[in-house]
Amino acid sequence: MKNDVKKETDKSVVQELRAIRDKVSLKIKDMTLKQLKEYLNKKKTLHPKSVWQNGG
């Protein structure tokens, strides 16, 4: 029974990640390199640059 719950959770997480990937893919599909850089710079990140660039 425990395995069934884990499989369902894993499956739903994978489905969510695929949906997010597809959504982003559609947004950036026709962008130029300059537009893509601007888009990525405007997106919020999990950690600010200072955290991952300075190692702390």
56 pLDDT exceeds 60? no
pTM, whole model, 2 decimals? 0.55
- Report the half-sphere exposure of 8 (CA within 13 A, side-chain side): 5
Q: Which domain holds residue 21?
A: 2-53
Alpha helix stretches (DSSP H) within the chain: 2-28, 33-42, 49-53
What tokens appear for 17 in the block? Answer: 């990640």
Q: Model confidence over 11-53: pLDDT tens digits?
A: 788 899 999 999 999 999 999 999 999 988 888 776 777 776 7
- Total domains, the chain: 1
